[in-house]
Chains A and B, each alone.
Chain A
């Protein structure tokens, strides 16, 4: 009963979207300097930004703005794509009469490997400046070494990203008053997909300072670590109507927002009344947050009056609101068995393509070849170009979400089983590899009914919580998929992409 209640309340805070409002948190939106940004919000050219500075021996939070500009061009010699990113920071800390300005320019070479993975190698392109004023002391960036590399694995519906960075900054203090070096080693992880994106960085700092105060040379070392995460999410929420006499029932409101969090820990020396370091180390930790102002959109209200009370009503309603289902909602019969074409259509709309990086200004050297009108051909002889499902099936096929039945046939009117559906979903998420090698058993009572081609996929789906089985522990993998069951599964996938992935990339890294 409580489980059901929980499920119901979950239904009410579903996240989704259809509008074109651009809110993104892409890889690199927070830079690689140990700070967080708001990410892009429509109508703002710069991002709100916060960063923690450990140079003085205590964590000092600076806040201000970050402007990112990226340009992309083809390297004529290697043929690789080169992205130049310019990061301009303007930050202050009024309490410590602090001022921080910096400009860093990175060059990123993108190599696409034969398996579709992209390797990025980022280095400084020589242009960097950084000046920090704290309590009247000036820190000037003298030297900066930095290298970053990451790999992006593009799966049909999700791009996964992992990378590492190393850096060393040397600052001079005042005029010949000493130097501070900051070494950083970092890992970062992220994903990007239609329903949201997250990038999480785990950075470890080693700060070494040598200051000259009169004839005393004060040397100390300290450590700090920063875990930060940027994410965007699209959520939907059901709103009931107040007036009774209104043509439609309540509907969903979609909210999109950026959310960045930062948590830091530092272990730095205590300073005596003269400002000289002592042997005692002080541990400090705190967290920061920047939350973008949410953008809200009203979603269409389907007419599903005839389903009032159906166990899958909320899922069906959500999917109609998100325009994953487009058929006449009055005629929707949840007991109908779904065809392969219908499922492909729904899954393509539920697991939309990964959005492009909008900060990237492509240089205009690309030739326009769009004049030649290409004849569109269907990859399947039984899916004519005129078919209303053609576009979806073609898209799903090209992205590798669905495959044909052999003999150039797709079998659009054929039915599919639960096992087929899960196979398609897990393939779209690109998570097949989560299953252990050597054959797996699932906890379902009817485990033995699972066909071998779907076994790993169902194991993964169960593990990430997409399928739970019924109260008695049956999955019924070989049953044909009714529209009701499909709605539940597809809506779960959307929820997974919105919520669970974020949790895995954010809370589960930052908090532990």
Chain B
């Protein structure tokens, strides 16, 4: 209900109750005197017989009610053969007649018609009354300016042979714009200039006669006529009879006063019949006690005769006629009836004439629907019998139990002041004692029982001191563009829990205090799935929204990564593709990193917002680097040891740079099995048990990761089929991959395609990945078996070789000219190592000293603050190696100059804790004149305190050199002994 109706109601209530305030005041607790007493009408049978339209009664026509009502009010009539003809179009003359009938001007039309007819030649006089009266309406219309004088003469003309389209045909169909104009004129509606509605709402207004537009606007404004619902008014369209009925019904609020009728609302409180027998007839006089919307009592009286009286005969036939009853026309349950269909509790709308006759009763609802609400009393007006309250809550039951959470906030989220009329016999309880309305005081909290918008019960309650204008629940949807938020909550009604969804609107989020996770936030941050509390101000506007997220942590592994999505396998085995974006923070070791840092095979902790419609990613944490695949072994599995939960393996070999090498430990070795590890045989996931029972002495390939404490544990074990043949290791580039967890690779050099499956150990970026992570252009070491039964190649291991780091470290050598302490230093000229050659540049070069710059001289590390060009330990004029990333010095080293490049494989290392000496075999020395690597004898070389050791472009320590490493190094000469100055581990 909008505010306007409240106002309207208030004024109505005021005017009515003012008149009768005295009686009301005195009569509250006495037998109540009726404010008005009405009677029924005696034409009920006649009217109802006329209305018995068979084409309407059985139909489900939308216009049924309108047809009944306008017929009951005798504005429209049927064709007389029990048909209404609802879809027939109305002609111009019919339309005019109906409009005049509606306002009760039939008599005027008849008078005018007679005047016309008198002026006619005898031959032309009309003998059929309706046709003659029709002339009257036209005349009236012309007089009132509804039609022009020419229209009238056209209408009355006998000879229409010369007529053109421009002429007025009285029996042509009336256009909608005509009807609008006529209704507006006859009803005296103010034409509306400065049109709004027609322009804004209807696209076809141009089709209307400009003259008619203000009138169309007027009927639109009064909701008498409407558009067609498709944005059109259709001004030139026809009007059917049922449409006409509806138009008249819509106009009744204007028409009724013109006819001197009044329409009232009320509820039948009781029906008091009294029967008397007169003259062989029983006469039932009934009094219908109606509590009207003003709170006062109205009575309607009827008289129904049954049986026959000899007093009343047909004067022609002498038949005894039934005496005309004083009855009511009642519209109830979709059709018309008489007063006998009325029941106690019916809420009715009754139309009363100036003479106090009830001409039409419409039952609005058959049971008194009572609402309850909790409210604060603002004002009580005993004179007008009204109560002004601030509504707090709707409640479903009279029982008030605040703790029981049976309150629901008023669904519009509005807290409004409302004025209600209260019934004269309103039941009042104050502190559970029956009291009088006088005991209700301003400021009291009360429960109101509202029946048909009237207060019928008031009960005082004590509301606990808590802020009631609060809603809470889980956000279903928040739409800042359209300004609404929808909450899901559960409402307990008695013992049932009913899910409820409520939407609250907000217009300007800037006026709302918004909190998310206890911090000030924007409205956009409130999202589906959040738990939220909303507080409303006195006007019912949202004042505070306070939300916390309900994000959930889930753990899983990256199956595949795309720029905008991640395919994740959760720990419980389920998989999901999550959409990512640049806004989602990625964290590694408590530092924010790029999305690029996520690698396929990584384990992630995901913060998710899961709602019933979607899952969105909020934060990604990458597991620390403790669990990379450190090595791949192969060996013959002797058994699985239950006690230690480890595999006992003999003939163990390790895959190094794509080649199998025997491990240090001889005989048997033990590899623990990591939690959640997987074992495969013949592309099937097998149990640990299966190993002991069926796979003893089978060869297996084992990928291990480092567990806590540095122990290696198997995470993927792939058994070789005993009849398959192991092929020589491949070192090749991938040309194509069919993708998927099972697929096929084709290689650049290899001629046979190689299949992979779930049992294949696939390593990329030190992580165990699935086949789809292998991309063309990757180079990989591949260990494959040739199956005995189909002769195909099956990969057991695919180890993708890391691409070289773009952060290339340049190696320079130069003489220090000056040092800007802790900032930079400059060399006069320098050589840069390019492959195996030193290239000389005769220009100075400055290198920056950063906090990460390491300075090493012959005795070890030098602090940056001691790296100066003055004093006793000056570095000025010393020739140093400089390893630099761009111009940032990474390492400054005083190792001696060498220009002989040697390469070979480490065969032996003499090392206690620090490696100091190693032996190279397969040794080759670079000959700069021939540009050839020439074979040499084995070399036994020293590692100096300040030897530079590089691996994968990183500076490493001497202890990182391992037996079997292929190295390239720079030394002073070609001799078989000496010091290695720079060692590159390949």
A interface residue numbers (CB < 8 A to B) = 2-3, 5-6, 8-9, 12-13, 95, 237-240, 253, 261-263, 265, 270-273, 276-281, 286-290, 294, 296, 436-441, 443, 451-452, 455, 463, 465, 468, 503, 508, 510-512
Contacts of A289 in B (CB 8 A): 707-711
- Closest CB-CB distance, B820 to chain A, in whole Å? 15
B643 with A296: CB separation less than 8 A: yes
B531 with A438: CB separation less than 8 A: yes
Partner of A287, one of B473, B603, B709, B822: B709
Type the 1/0 row for B26-68, where 1 means its CB is closer than 8 Å to any CB of A.
0000000000000000000000000000000000000000000
Partner of A3, one of B555, B573, B624, B859: B573
B211 contacts the other chain (CB 8 A): no
Q: A272-B862, A289-B709 are in contact. Are A452 and B492 (CB under 8 A)?
A: yes
A443 with B864: CB separation less than 8 A: no
Contacts of B688 in A (CB 8 A): 9, 12-13
B12 contacts the other chain (CB 8 A): no
A436 with B531: CB separation less than 8 A: yes
Q: A2-B685, A280-B851 are in contact. Are A511 and B623 (CB under 8 A)?
A: yes
B689 with A439: CB separation less than 8 A: no
Most central of A13, A261, A438 by chain B CB within 10 Å? A438
B474 with A280: CB separation less than 8 A: no
16 extra interface residue pairs, beta carbon distance < 8 Å, beyond A9-B687, A272-B863, A468-B572: A2-B573, A9-B685, A273-B860, A278-B864, A281-B851, A287-B710, A288-B708, A289-B710, A436-B474, A438-B473, A438-B487, A439-B474, A439-B499, A455-B490, A512-B605, A512-B623
B865 with A508: CB separation less than 8 A: no
B627 with A511: CB separation less than 8 A: yes
B707 with A5: CB separation less than 8 A: no
B626 with A263: CB separation less than 8 A: yes
- Closest CB-CB distance, B675 to chain A, in whole Å? 8
B596 contacts the other chain (CB 8 A): no
Interface positions, chain B 74-120, Cβ under 8 Å from A, are none
Query: 18 A-B Cβ contacts within 8 A?
Result: A253-B642, A261-B708, A263-B708, A272-B860, A272-B866, A273-B859, A280-B851, A288-B708, A288-B709, A296-B643, A439-B489, A441-B488, A452-B492, A455-B490, A463-B552, A508-B605, A511-B603, A512-B623
A439 with B488: CB separation less than 8 A: yes
Contacts of A5 in B (CB 8 A): 685
| CA of A203 to CA of B589, assembled, Å | 14
- Closest CB-CB distance, B582 to chain A, in whole Å? 22
Interface positions, chain B 815-855, Cβ under 8 Å from A, are 822, 851-855
Type the 1/0 row for B611-654, where 1 means its CB is closer than 8 Å to any CB of A.
01000000001011011000000000000001100000000000
Q: A9-B687, A273-B859, A438-B488 are in contact. Are A279 and B851 (CB under 8 A)?
A: yes
**CB-CB nearest in chain B for A265:** B589
Contacts of B710 in A (CB 8 A): 286-287, 289
Interface positions, chain B 944-962, Cβ under 8 Å from A, are none
B interface residue numbers (CB < 8 A to A) = 472-474, 487-490, 492, 497, 499, 529, 531-532, 550, 552-553, 555, 571-573, 589, 603, 605, 612, 621, 623-624, 626-627, 642-643, 685, 687-689, 693, 707-711, 822, 851-855, 857, 859-866, 913
| CA of A439 to CA of B490, assembled, Å | 6
Contacts of A438 in B (CB 8 A): 472-474, 487-489, 531-532
**CB-CB nearest in chain B for A287:** B708
Contacts of A239 in B (CB 8 A): 642
A270 with B861: CB separation less than 8 A: yes
Q: A2-B685, A287-B626, A439-B473 are in contact. Are A270 and B854 (CB under 8 A)?
A: yes
**CB-CB nearest in chain B for A259:** B708
- Closest CB-CB distance, B695 to chain A, in whole Å? 15
A437 with B707: CB separation less than 8 A: no
**CB-CB nearest in chain A for B627:** A511
| CA of A290 to CA of B687, assembled, Å | 27
B865 with A279: CB separation less than 8 A: yes
- Closest CB-CB distance, B428 to chain A, in whole Å? 36
A273 with B497: CB separation less than 8 A: no
| CA of A3 to CA of B571, assembled, Å | 12
Contacts of B693 in A (CB 8 A): 240
| CA of A451 to CA of B492, assembled, Å | 12
| CA of A273 to CA of B621, assembled, Å | 39
B689 with A279: CB separation less than 8 A: no
| CA of A441 to CA of B853, assembled, Å | 57
A508 with B861: CB separation less than 8 A: no
| CA of A8 to CA of B861, assembled, Å | 58
Q: A294-B643, A511-B626 are in contact. Are A12 and B689 (CB under 8 A)?
A: yes
| CA of A192 to CA of B114, assembled, Å | 108
**CB-CB nearest in chain B for A465:** B572
Partner of B531, one of A240, A278, A437, A508: A437
| CA of A466 to CA of B853, assembled, Å | 54
| CA of A440 to CA of B611, assembled, Å | 9
Contacts of B573 in A (CB 8 A): 2-3, 6
Partner of B861, one of A265, A271, A436: A271
Contacts of A511 in B (CB 8 A): 603, 623-624, 626-627
B555 with A508: CB separation less than 8 A: yes
Contacts of B687 in A (CB 8 A): 8-9, 12
Contacts of B589 in A (CB 8 A): 265
Contacts of B474 in A (CB 8 A): 436-440
B861 with A272: CB separation less than 8 A: yes
| CA of A463 to CA of B865, assembled, Å | 57
- Closest CB-CB distance, B495 to chain A, in whole Å? 9
| CA of A440 to CA of B530, assembled, Å | 11
Contacts of B623 in A (CB 8 A): 511-512
| CA of A95 to CA of B489, assembled, Å | 65
B531 with A279: CB separation less than 8 A: no
Contacts of B603 in A (CB 8 A): 511
B612 with A443: CB separation less than 8 A: yes
- Closest CB-CB distance, A264 to chain B, in whole Å? 11
Contacts of A451 in B (CB 8 A): 497
Contacts of B489 in A (CB 8 A): 438-439
| CA of A279 to CA of B550, assembled, Å | 45
| CA of A281 to CA of B532, assembled, Å | 47
- Closest CB-CB distance, B318 to chain A, in whole Å? 74
Partner of A278, one of B490, B555, B863: B863
A277 with B685: CB separation less than 8 A: no
| CA of A286 to CA of B710, assembled, Å | 8
| CA of A287 to CA of B711, assembled, Å | 10
| CA of A279 to CA of B853, assembled, Å | 9
- Closest CB-CB distance, B781 to chain A, in whole Å? 28
Contacts of A238 in B (CB 8 A): 689
Contacts of A3 in B (CB 8 A): 573
| CA of A436 to CA of B855, assembled, Å | 57
Q: A436-B474, A438-B532 are in contact. Are A273 and B488 (CB under 8 A)?
A: no
